[in-house]
Amino acid sequence: MERGAAANTLAAYRRDLGRYRDFLTERGITNAAAVHEADVTGFLAHLRLGDSGHPGLAVSSTARTLAAVRGLHRFLALEGITDTDPAAHVAPPRPPSRLPKAIPVDMVERLLEAASVGDPPLSLRDRALLELLYGAGARISEAVGLDVDDLDLEVRAVRLVGKGAKERVVPIGRYAAESLGAYLTRARPALSAAGRAGPALFLGRRGARLSRQSAWLVLQAVAGRAGLREHVSPHTLRHSFATHLLDGGADVRVVQELLGHASVTTTQIYTMVSVHRLREVYAEAHPRAR
């Protein structure tokens, strides 16, 4: 809470710590001061190997769970509740480096065109939502959390609230602005009439704020209509936003600000995507590449 973590992050940490508590209880440990480093490493092994009733977790899930445990013990030690931090020297597993999945510009255009198929007001909403996800590189939680006042179509910009409750203002292009304008004037009033809309920008069928799950379903349905075989998620559009900017010559520091990354190191993985693409083009085009 002190770090301003998102509600979904807090819920994940709560589940992780609940699993840790159950593991310690089975070992007969009910006091944090009685936990030793061997107990933490035992929990780490338990996560990876699983048991007869539950399979082991993936490396990424194990690392996240251990991060919650390490944070708990660090907090207890700093507050003086325990004398030592038994998790201080337990290193989390390192997940393999994975490049973000981006789709080419022509596929993005197919996806956006497919969003316009169908009758208003939902088709106008779907097009506006996907244009915003790609045009601003917004996370899905940021998009569905938007209020009408967060959008300024005159200057073509949107105020996004990201991880840690950090705000950033991101410009949007003409296509996104036009789609959002059409949604606001021709679709949102009809949707809001079905219920109590409040300030929410994107609304569902019943007039309430569009949920993350509903936004996911929208994208999956649109991707199906577009005939895209690749797995397309809201984060795919965010990855594509960053990759296409870098391919177009944008500075990585600018892309960092647009994405709302706390560290440029996180953003730099997208430069690897661009280099990977350059290698593919080089291998296909240069006569002495092979």
Q: Catalytic residue at 36? A: no
Query: Of residues 48, 163, 168, 225, which has the active-site annotation?
Result: 163
Q: Which residues contact 153 (CB under 8 A, 6 or more apart)?
A: 177, 180, 181, 184
What is the C-alpha to C-alpha distance for residues 14 and 37, in angstroms, rounded to an integer? Answer: 21
Given the residues 110, 139, 209, 239, select the one marked as catalytic: 139
Tell me, what amino acid is at 96? P
* Three-class SS state of 50: strand
Q: How far apart are CA 29 and CA 8, in angstroms?
A: 28
User: Using CB atoms within 10 A of its CB, is residue 155 exposed (0-12), middle (13-18) or buried (19+)?
Assistant: exposed
Q: Residue 261 catalytic?
A: yes
Instruction: Confirm if 47 and 38 have CB atoms less than 8 A apart.
Output: no
Q: How far is Cα 229 from Cα 239, in angstroms, rounded to an integer? A: 17
Give the span between the Cα atoms of 46 and 42, in whole angstroms.
6
| Catalytic annotation, pick one of 21, 186, 235, 253 | 235
Is 163 a known active-site residue? yes
* Full strand arrangement of the beta sheet holding 157-161: 151-152, 157-161, 167-171
Report the candidate in 238, 110, 125 with the shortest Cα–Cα distance to residue 179.
125
238 a catalytic residue: yes
Task: Give catalytic status of residue 244 as yes or no.
Answer: no
First to last CA, the chain: 54
Nearest to 179 by CA among 248, 130, 231, 240: 130
Task: Confirm whether 127 is a catalytic residue.
Answer: no
Q: How far apart are CA 252 and CA 263, in angstroms?
A: 11
Q: Contact, 160 vs 138, CB < 8 A?
A: yes
Of the residues 70, 238, 239, 244, which is catalytic? Answer: 238
Q: Cite the active site residues.
A: 139, 163, 235, 238, 261, 270
